Amino acid sequence: MLTTTITTSNSKNFFSETEAAQALEISIERFRELVRTHIAQSEEEVNNIGTTTYQASDLLVLKLLAKIPVQS
């Protein structure tokens, strides 16, 4: 069984765009690109990227899609 984790400075339930990018150790621009490419399904969703909150599971999926090494 593969176990993966997202390491953050504290246990949070929800992350802002900035916090999510920091947790993934990528720029906000790269984070937005990942969300636009892999998650957003409409122009409205793309326009809401900056105001959306993300869960740790969202960050894990983005990390895997971005092929960022995941700590196990």
Domain range annotation of the chain: 17-65
pTM score: 0.71
Distance of CA 69 to the CA centre of its chain: 14
Phi/psi of residue 39, nearest 5 degrees: -120, -55
d(CA 1, CA 27): 31
pLDDT band at 3 (very low <50, low <70, confident <90, very high): very low
Helices (H), ranges, 14-68? 17-24, 28-38, 43-47, 56-65
pLDDT band at 1 (very low <50, low <70, confident <90, very high): very low
- DSSP secondary structure letter of residue 68: P
